[in-house]
Amino acid sequence: MVRLVLRRLAWALPLALVASVISFVLVALLPGDAARSLLGQNATDEQVDAARHELGLDQPLWTQYWRWLSKALQGDLGTSLINRQPVTGQLNDRLGPSLSLIIGATLLAAVVGILLGVRGARRGVLGKVVKSGSVIGLAVPDFWLGLVLVVLFAVKLPFFPPTGYVPLTEDPAAWFNSVVLPVVTLAVPATAVIAKQCRDAVATALDQPFVRTLRAAGVPERSVVYRHALKNAAVPVLTVIGMVFVAALGGTVAVEFIFAIPGLGSTAVQATASHDLPLIEGVVVYFTVIVIAVNLLVDVAYHAVNPRVRTS
């Protein structure tokens, strides 16, 4: 187990480095200019050139990246080019809203998806419903579902606020109300994926010889399904749950925009539109760390539920 953790951590730095290089280059290739965004469209070319020189944007791209990387390796992600605030402070403030959505959506999707998958694995009408519902759930776009939920449960039936976010430490009840709709928006397609994978994996496990032996020995059906078949199907289900968590990182971009939530996804959009390279690189670093942490937790969970698994 220790060797697994150390091996995964050894890959963390190269992965973060590659991700930062790719994002730096891609953003630099986009049309636009941070100096122009900072000064506005009415600024003269001389003013823009002076601002570019002051911000160091007139230097070669590799020089800009090396300057950022040198500070990042010391724990300093730099300063935003637009609002001149430390990147780390801004992202720490916005990490909570994003994690609230991602963790909440993943937990909701995992619980509902596993329950539907296990029930649907017994085939019959429910199995067909789960299979068809999975296809429909995957086809529903996040932004469309979010808008529908706002209209139904925030406008016509004002059960939840349509936009905004309240920190958990400030008011737990208001926090819960502010994340219900965005969490459900992210969880619907994720639930479809988990339910489909769980249904197939549990159905395969139920066809194995050991299940027939357990049933012949008089083991209760509930125990056969939940203690034995589900445990045997846990590895592929855990893999999908990990993928759902990572996919939710990308889903937060649209969801945070729709519900006006100040998270990492909306920050990435704003930073990209203004060519704020330090802020974009900071978001990439945070996303990369989250992905590495989730993959590590999934690998550890493999060994917890099935010690025979050996992750290379």
Residue at 28 is within a domain = no
Residue at 223 is within a domain = yes
Which domain CATH number covers 177? 1.10.3720.10
pLDDT in tens, the chain (312 residues): 667 667 767 777 788 788 888 888 887 777 777 777 777 777 777 877 887 777 777 788 888 888 888 888 888 888 888 888 899 999 999 999 999 999 999 999 999 999 888 887 766 666 677 767 777 777 778 788 888 999 999 888 889 998 889 998 889 999 999 999 999 999 988 898 898 888 888 888 888 888 888 888 888 888 888 888 888 888 888 888 988 898 888 888 889 988 989 999 888 888 888 888 888 888 988 988 888 888 888 877 777 776 555 544
Residue at 277 is within a domain = no
- Supply the range of the domain harboring residue 250: 106-262
Residue at 2 is within a domain = no
Residue at 233 is within a domain = yes
Say how many domains are in the chain: 1
Residue at 215 is within a domain = yes
Quote the pLDDT of residue 104: 94
Q: Taking a C-beta distance cutoff of 8 angstroms, is the pair 175, 100 a contact? A: yes
Residue at 250 is within a domain = yes
Residue at 143 is within a domain = yes
